[in-house]
Amino acid sequence: MAEDLDWPALLAYDRAHVWHPYAALPPANPPLPVVSASGARLRLADGREVVDGMSSWWSAIWGYRQPVIDAALAEQIGQVSHVMFGGLTHAPAVQLARRLAELAPAGLTQVFFADSGSVAVEVALKTAVQYQHSAGRPGRTRFLALEGGYHGDTLGAMSVCDPVGGMHHLFRGALPAQVFAPRPPRPGLLDPGWAEALRALVNRHSDELAALVAEPVVQGAGGMWFYEPECLQVMRDVADEHGLLLVFDEIATGFGRTGTMFACERAPRARPDIMCVGKALTGGYMTMAAMLCTQEVSGAVSHGEAGCLMHGPTFMANPLACAAALASTGLLLDGTWQDRVRSIEEGLAQGLAPASDLPGVRDVRALGAIGVVQLDHDVDMAAATGAALRHGTWLRPFRDLVYTMPPYICSEDDVARVAGAVVAAAAVA
Ligand SMILES: *Cc1c(COP(=O)(O)O)cnc(C)c1O
C-alpha cells in the first residue's frame, strides 16, 4: 500500500506546509518518510530498514508492533476509545493509577493523568503553587530548577528549562523568571561546593519558592548529563529545611531507562513529593503522561481555596492510552528488562569506547540503555545522520551530542550496530 503513495508529492507538501519539531518551515534538512515499523526497526519509504537508535525519543522501549500492546489496544477499541473523564471513570484508568502507584517510589499514590509530558510538568508546577497557597504561603509561586535541565515546551515547563539552552531571552516577558542552581556534579564527585550553592540559593529565595524541580540523575534534552545520585538527597534535605516541595521529572528516565525503574531510586531516601512520568509510559504507542503525588499534597490542594486541582485536559485518561500503558508497564513487571538494560549498557560502553580516540570528541559515557558521545563542537546534522543511516541506524543528534537510547528489545548485534553508528556519526560530525 505504502508503495502506491506518491512520495515526491507528499514530501513536497510536507516541506512547504508541515512544521517538524524545532525546525524552520521549510526545514533545513528534509525528514525521512517512514512507512512501517516492527521490532527495533523502522522501514523507510525507499525500502531501507534501520534500527531505531532513539526509541522514538525515549518512548518505544519495546520497539514497534509489540504483540501484547497491539492486542490490548485492539481490545480497548472494541470497548471504548475515548470518553470524558469529568464525572465518568473507566477500568483502564483505575487499573493504571494503581499500577503506577505500585511501581513508583513509596508514598506517590495519587495520580493525575495528563496528555503529554509538558502538561504533566505544568500540572506539577500548579499543584505545588496550590499546595503552598493551601499551606498559608501564597507568596510562594516561583521554582528552583537546575541549569542544564529540560522539562518540556509549554511556557510554564519552559520556564524551568535551562535558561540558555531554552533561549529564555527570546521569550522575556512571556516566561515567568525562575531561580537556577548550577548543574549537579558528575557521578562520583559529590562536590560540597554544589550543595552549598544550592543551599545558599534556597536560603535567599525560600519565601518565594514553591518547589525544587529536577530530572533525577540524567538530564536529558538539556545536554545528556549524568550526575551524582547523592545530589538528590541534598535536594530532598534542602527542600525539607525550607518548606519546598520536591518535584522529580522522570519523563525521560522512568520505566527502566537508566537501569532502575525510576532514576531517583539510586538515592533511596530522596523520595519526591511529586513525580512526572510520560514518554515510555505507553511504550511509545500513544501520547500520555501523569503526575503522581503524595496524599499530603493531594489533601492540601483539595482542602485549599479552590477545593480542587485547577486542571482538566479534554483527553484526560484517554482509555486507549491507558490500555497501552497498562500493557507496557505490565511487560516491566517480570523484571527481565533489568538484564536487558544492563547488557545494553555493557554493549554501549564497549561499542562507544573507540569514539574516545576520535578528534573533536570531548567525552564518552553510558548509563543504563543510554549512550552518549559529546563533541567539542556542534554536530553537522546532515553528515551525522547520513553516516548513522549508512550503518543501518536512525539517530537524531543535537547540539554537541551524538547519542542513543535504543529499545530494550535490541539484540546484542543491534546494540553493536547502533554503537558503531554513533561512532561513525561522531567521526563525521
Ligand atoms: C520530553 C520531556 C518532557 C516533555 O514531554 P512532552 O511529552 O514532549 O511534552 C518533559 N520532561 C522531560 C525530562 C522530558 O524528557
Q: Average pLDDT for residues 143-150, to the nearest whole number?
A: 98
Sheet (strand 361-367) strand order: 361-367, 370-375, 401-404
* pLDDT tier for residue 191 given thresholds of 50, 70 and 90: confident
53 Cα–ligand 1 center, Å: 18
- What does the mean pLDDT of the chain come to? 97
Is 279 annotated as catalytic?
A: yes
118 Cα–ligand 1 center, Å: 6
pTM above 0.85, yes or no: yes
pLDDT digits 0-9 by tens, 154-185: 999 999 999 999 999 999 999 999 999 999 99
Which 3 state secondary structure label does DSSP give 225?
A: strand
Nearest CA to ligand 1 atom 12: 151
Statement: residue 21 has pLDDT above 70: yes
Let me know if 243 is exposed, middle or buried by CB neighbors in 10 A (0-12, 13-18, 19+): middle
Percent with pLDDT over 70 in the chain: 99
Catalytic residue among 52, 64, 131, 150: 150
pLDDT score at 369: 98
Q: What DSSP character marks residue 179?
A: E
Statement: residue 3 has pLDDT above 80: no
Which value, to the nearest 10 degrees, does the dihedral of the CA atoms of residues 12, 16, 17, 18 take?
70
147 Rama class: left (phi>0) / alpha (psi -120 to 50) / beta: beta
- β-pairing verdict for 110-114 and 289-293: antiparallel
Which value, to the nearest 10 degrees, does the dihedral of the CA atoms of residues 293, 262, 272, 298 take?
0
Closest ligand 1 atom to 157 CA: 10
Element (H, E) at 415: helix 412-428
Angle between helices 381-390 and 412-428 (to 10 degrees): 150
* pLDDT tier for residue 4 given thresholds of 50, 70 and 90: confident
Task: Look at the block and give the residue holding cell 519509504.
Answer: 45
Catalytic residue among 4, 22, 46, 334: 22
pLDDT digits 0-9 by tens, 264-307: 999 999 999 999 999 999 999 999 999 999 999 999 999 999 99
Q: Average pLDDT for residues 332-355, to the nearest whole number?
A: 98
pLDDT score at 2: 52
What's the rounded Cα separation, in Å, for the pair 326 and 282?
7
User: Distance of CA 31 to CAs 153, 279, 285, 389, Å?
Assistant: 21, 22, 21, 13
Task: Look at the block and give the residue holding cell 520536591.
Answer: 246
Pocket test for ligand 1, best of 113, 121, 162 (most atoms within 8 A of CB): 121
What's the rounded Cα separation, in Å, for the pair 335 and 380?
39
153 Cα–ligand 1 center, Å: 8
User: Do residues 124 and 113 touch, judged by C-beta distance below 8 A?
Assistant: no
User: Distance of CA 43 to CAs 33, 64, 101, 428, Å?
Assistant: 9, 11, 36, 24
DSSP notation for 248-313:
EE-TTTTTTTTSSSSGGGGSTT---SEEEE-GGGGTTSS--EEEEE-HHHHHHHHTSSSSS-S---
pLDDT digits 0-9 by tens, 110-139: 999 999 999 999 999 999 999 999 999 999
Q: Average pLDDT for residues 215-237, to the nearest whole number?
A: 97
Statement: residue 429 has pLDDT above 90: no
Q: Ligand 1: list residues with CB < 6 Å.
A: 116-118, 121, 150-152, 215, 220-221, 249, 251-252, 278-279, 289
Catalytic residue among 279, 285, 408, 414: 279
What's the rounded Cα separation, in Å, for the pair 26 and 13?
10
Catalytic residue among 115, 162, 249, 414: 249
- b/e code 82-115 from CB counts within 10 Å (16+ = b): eeebeeeebebbebbbebbeebbbebbbbbbbbb
121 Cα–ligand 1 center, Å: 8
